[in-house]
C-alpha cells in the first residue's frame, strides 16, 4: 500500500490542512506504508515560495514523507498522453461554455449529478454552432463524454457513497490538464492505494473512479476526513485569524503544542516529543476517529 499527500502550493498551510496532513501520515504509518508527496501545482494561484513553506511546515509538526517530491507541472506529458488516449476512443468533446453559461444552465432536480455538474450543452451543438465557436477565437475546454454513470464508493470513513459522473473537464481551454484527470493519472502512476483527503472532495470522487474504470485500472481506497471549521461554521481559512504555524508560534505556542492540539482534536493521545508520534501511529484506529468536523476555537 502507498498513501499520498497532494497539496496545492497556493498558500501556507493552516491548521485544517495540517490536520488532514497528520491523518494522511497516520493512515500510512499505521499500515507501515510509504507516503508520497505530490504538489498539485497546475492551478493559476500557485506561488513559488509556497512549495518550500509547505514542506517546512509539514516537517515542523514531526511529519515525514518518502522519496522524491513530485510536481504535477513537471509531468504534463503524462496527462496529455492520457487525454489523447481518451480522444482516440471518441470519449471527448470540445466545450466553449463560459462559467456564467454553465451556472445559468440548470441540472434537472432529480439528477444524481453533483453540484456544479456540467449539463452537456456543447455536446449537442449543431455543425453551424461549432464552426461559429471555432471562428470566435476562444479556446475550447475538452470534456469527457460520460453517461451519468452512477458510481458507488465504499469510503473508509464515510461508508457507502453514490454519485453520478457528469461531462467533467479533462483539459482546460489554456491546455492545462484538469485536477480530476491529473490526480487519477498520478494516483495510478505512483501506485497509490490509499487516498486520505478532506471530505470537500467527496463529490468529485465518482468522476475519478469513473476515469480509473475507463483506463482499466483499480481505484485506490478512499478515506475522506471531516474538515476543520471556524466558529462561524465555515471551512477554516487564513482570514479567520491565527491559523498557521507561524501565527501560533507568534502567540507563544511551540510546534509540539500545535501537534498536540491537532492530536487532541482527533481524540488521540498527546505526545511528549515528536518521536512519540510513531507510537500514536502504531495504536491508530481510523474507526475511532471523530466523524464530525472540528470547530476551531481561536
Task: Give least dist CB 182 to ligand GLU, A.
Answer: 9
Per rule CB under 6 A, is residue 8 in the interface with ligand GLU? yes
Per rule CB under 6 A, is residue 14 in the interface with ligand GLU? no
Residue 46 CB partners (closer than 8 Å, separation 6+): 8, 9, 10, 73
The residue among 29 and 93 lying less far from ligand GLU, judged by its C-beta, is 29
Per CB under 6 A, the segment of 1-9, 120-128, 252-260, 276-284 that binds ligand GLU is: 1-9
Per rule CB under 6 A, is residue 7 in the interface with ligand GLU? yes
C-alpha cell at 134: 471555432
The residue among 141 and 183 lying less far from ligand GLU, judged by its C-beta, is 183
Per rule CB under 6 A, is residue 169 in the interface with ligand GLU? no
Per rule CB under 6 A, is residue 183 in the interface with ligand GLU? yes
The residue among 40 and 166 lying less far from ligand GLU, judged by its C-beta, is 40
Task: Give least dist CB 121 to ligand GLU, A.
Answer: 27
Interacting residue with ligand GLU among 197, 207, 210, 224 (CB under 6 A)? 197
Task: Give least dist CB 255 to ligand GLU, A.
Answer: 22
Strand duo 159-164 + 150-155: pairing: antiparallel
Task: Give least dist CB 283 to ligand GLU, A.
Answer: 25
Under 8 Å between Cβ of 167 and 144: yes
Per rule CB under 6 A, is residue 21 in the interface with ligand GLU? no
The DSSP element (H or E) to which 17 belongs, if any, is: helix 15-30
Kindly calculate the radius of gyration of the chain based on its CA atoms and give it in whole angstroms.
Answer: 21
Per rule CB under 6 A, is residue 19 in the interface with ligand GLU? no
Residue 293 CB partners (closer than 8 Å, separation 6+): 226, 227, 228, 229
Task: Give least dist CB 252 to ligand GLU, A.
Answer: 29
Interacting residue with ligand GLU among 55, 130, 158, 201 (CB under 6 A)? 201
Query: What residue spans of 156-273 are helical by DSSP H?
Result: 179-189, 205-214, 245-250, 255-265
Q: Applying CB under 6 A, what is the total number of residues that bind ligand GLU? A: 7
- Pick from 15, 9, 5: nearest CA to 238: 15
Task: Give least dist CB 274 to ligand GLU, A.
Answer: 24
Per rule CB under 6 A, is residue 228 in the interface with ligand GLU? no
Under 8 Å between Cβ of 119 and 109: no
Per rule CB under 6 A, is residue 6 in the interface with ligand GLU? yes
DSSP three-state, residue 212: helix
**Ranges within 25-84 binding ligand GLU (CB under 6 A):** 40
DSSP three-state, residue 168: coil
- Pick from 271, 172, 221: nearest CA to 4: 221
Residue 153 CB partners (closer than 8 Å, separation 6+): 160, 161, 162, 163, 205, 206, 209, 222
Task: Give least dist CB 190 to ligand GLU, A.
Answer: 12
**CA–CA separation, 129 and 94 (whole Å):** 12
Q: How many CB atoms lie within 10 A of CB 283?
A: 11
Instruction: Name the site residues for ligand GLU (rule: CB under 6 A).
Output: 6-8, 40, 183, 197, 201
Amino acid at each position: 500500500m502507498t498513501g499520498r499527500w497532494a497539496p496545492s502550493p497556493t498558500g501556507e498551510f493552516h491548521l485544517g490542512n495540517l490536520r488532514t496532513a497528520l491523518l494522511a501520515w497516520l493512515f500510512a504509518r499505521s499500515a507501515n506504508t510509504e507516503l508520497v508527496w505530490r504538489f498539485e501545482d497546475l492551478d493559476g494561484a500557485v506561488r513559488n515560495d509556497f512549495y518550500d513553506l509547505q514542506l517546512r511546515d509539514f516537517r515542523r509538526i514531526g511529519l515525514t514523507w518518502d522519496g522524491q517530491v513530485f510536481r504535477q507541472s513537471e509531468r504534463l506529458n503524462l496527462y496529455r498522453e492520457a487525454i489523447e488516449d481518451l480522444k482516440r476512443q471518441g470519449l471527448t468533446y470540445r466545450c466553449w461554455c463560459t462559467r456564467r453559461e454553465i451556472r445559468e444552465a440548470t441540472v434537472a432536480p432529480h439528477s444524481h449529478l453533483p453540484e456544479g455538474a456540467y449539463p452537456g450543452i456543447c455536446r449537442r451543438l449543431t455543425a453551424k454552432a461549432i464552426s461559429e465557436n471555432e471562428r470566435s477565437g476562444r479556446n475550447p475546454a475538452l470534456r469527457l463524454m460520460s453517461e451519468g454513470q452512477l458510481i458507488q464508493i465504499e469510503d473508509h470513513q464515510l461508508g457507502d457513497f453514490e454519485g453520478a459522473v457528469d461531462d467533467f473537464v479533462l483539459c482546460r481551454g489554456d491546455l492545462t490538464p484538469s485536477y480530476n484527470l491529473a490526480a487519477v493519472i498520478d494516483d495510478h502512476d505512483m501506485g497509490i492505494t490509499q487516498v486520505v483527503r478532506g471530505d470537500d472532495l467527496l463529490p468529485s470522487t465518482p468522476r475519478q473512479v469513473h476515469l480509473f474504470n475507463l483506463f482499466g485500472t483499480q481505484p485506490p481506497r478512499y478515506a475522506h476526513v471531516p474538515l476543520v471549521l471556524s466558529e462561524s461554521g465555515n471551512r477554516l481559512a487564513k482570514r479567520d485569524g491565527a491559523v498557521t504555524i507561524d501565527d501560533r508560534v507568534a502567540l507563544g505556542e511551540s510546534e509540539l503544542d500545535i501537534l498536540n492540539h491537532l492530536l487532541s482534536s482527533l481524540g488521540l493521545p498527546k505526545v511528549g516529543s515528536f518521536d512519540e508520534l510513531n507510537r500514536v501511529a502504531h495504536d491508530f484506529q481510523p474507526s475511532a476517529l471523530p466523524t464530525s468536523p472540528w470547530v476551531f476555537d481561536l
